[in-house]
Amino acid sequence: MGHFGDYQNEIYGAGLRGVLTKLPVDYATLVQRATAAMPPHVLNYVQGGCGDEWTQDQNAAAFRHWGMVPRMMVGTTSRDLSTTIFGHKYHSPIFMSPIGVTGICTPDQHGDVAAAQASAMTGVPMTVSTLGNDTMEDVAGQLGEVPGFFQLYTPRDKDLAESLIRRAEAAGYRALVVTLDTWVTGWRPRDLNAGNFPQLRGHVLANYFADPVFEKMLGKDPASAPAEATMLWASQFARPVTWDDMAWYKSATKMPIVLKGICHPDDAKKAVDMGADALFCSNHGGRQANGGIAAIDMLPGVVAAAGDVPVWFDSGVRSGSDVIKALALGAQAVGVGRPFAYGLALDGAAGAAHVLKCILAEADLMMAVNGMPTLADVRAAGAARI
């Protein structure tokens, strides 16, 4: 069986035939290409962060002050990047993080389906956002044999929330990822300067408009009154989630519950005590609050406090080396966000798949040359603060 790193052999082999990659393999050039290609209203939303974007920038930059020490004379001709999440074995530890405007990242406005197709092509699971241009059921139908996860922005109305959860469960999603830090949006100058919030223009609301409880609340088919439906969505979008809600989440679903946004060790301990099945260390990529600590710097404290409960991670992941460092600091699984969105914008499902393959190839090759044939070896080696 081949390794993820073999992707570079494919690229070099094609080069010998005079065929270069359609998309770049490095993040910096990917950003340049996507910046030129994406419509401004989409680009601002995907690329922008909160405030002066200091935290967003620190999320990525902070990986540079974590380093790993290679070990030599270790046999790494055979490598295993597989991980098990909620009883299912995945061939790698990365997943696609939820992005609320995935749907409008492709010219045909079906980026959610394209991302699911990339998941099926690569075996990388997708965390499907509540916000989408395609329904969660349609997206699930494109995932193939790769189980996905469903991310929930908890509506104010519990009946609507329970309906979304039931639909996700029926569609076959393997976990409920509850976002904790987005009951109100942070101060986002790029969007504010453009006077543009895609959802208020009716974008990525398919899951709501297709929901029977939402339609009952509206009193009519949302398709017949899109402006009215959008205003109803705005009034219901999300509410603050408190520890008192955990019992309700546990009663509402049999899916494992992942709490997204846990960054403080005390919150991690509380989440474990309240029955969370996994913690998701994330500061929303710096999109929700500015002035905070880089997420990767908070990860070790969350892992230590979580004990045996697995910790997922995202925020600032741009490369395969970032993935390996997050795993070395204790993450069970690592989410990729903006990079795959740029891939979608440039070449749809194939573009997102290419980006994911590049990240996996770099991660695999880093393990190979560092003398770490398994993820257990990566975690045992750890990462040191430089």
Note the pLDDT tens digit of each residue in 174-196.
999 999 999 999 999 999 999 99
B/e letters for 319-329, b = 16+ CB within 10 Å, e = fewer, are: bbbbbbbbbbb
Res. 2 pLDDT band, cuts 50 70 90: confident
- If 0-12 CB within 10 Å is exposed, 13-18 middle and 19+ buried, where does residue 196 land? middle
Q: Is 3 annotated as a binding residue?
A: no
CA–CA separation, 266 vs 275, rounded Å? 14
The pLDDT of residue 312 is 98
Domains observed in the chain: 4-385 (3.20.20.70)
Known binder of ligand: residue 100? yes
* Cβ pair 329, 299 in contact under 8 A: yes
58 annotated among ligand-binding-site residues: no
The model carries a pTM of 0.97
pLDDT in tens, 125-152: 999 999 999 999 999 999 999 999 999 9
Q: What is the mean pLDDT of the chain?
A: 97
Q: What is the pLDDT of residue 310?
A: 98
Flag whether 8 is marked binding.
no
Q: Is 55 annotated as a binding residue?
A: no
CA dihedral over 22, 148, 268, 180, signed as positive or negative = positive
Q: At CA 330, angle to CA 66 and CA 283, rounded to 5?
A: 75
CA dist 375 and 308 (Å) reads: 17
Q: Give me the half-sphere count of Cα atoms (radius 13 Å) on the Cβ side of residue 347.
A: 16
5-34 pLDDT, tens digit each: 999 999 999 999 999 999 999 999 999 999
pLDDT tens sequence across 101-118: 999 999 999 999 999 999
Residue count of the chain, please give it: 386
Q: Please give the share of the chain, as a percent, with pLDDT higher than 90.
A: 99
* Residue 284 annotated in active site: yes
Q: What is the pLDDT of residue 1?
A: 56
Which member of 41, 203, 284, 354 is catalytic?
Answer: 284
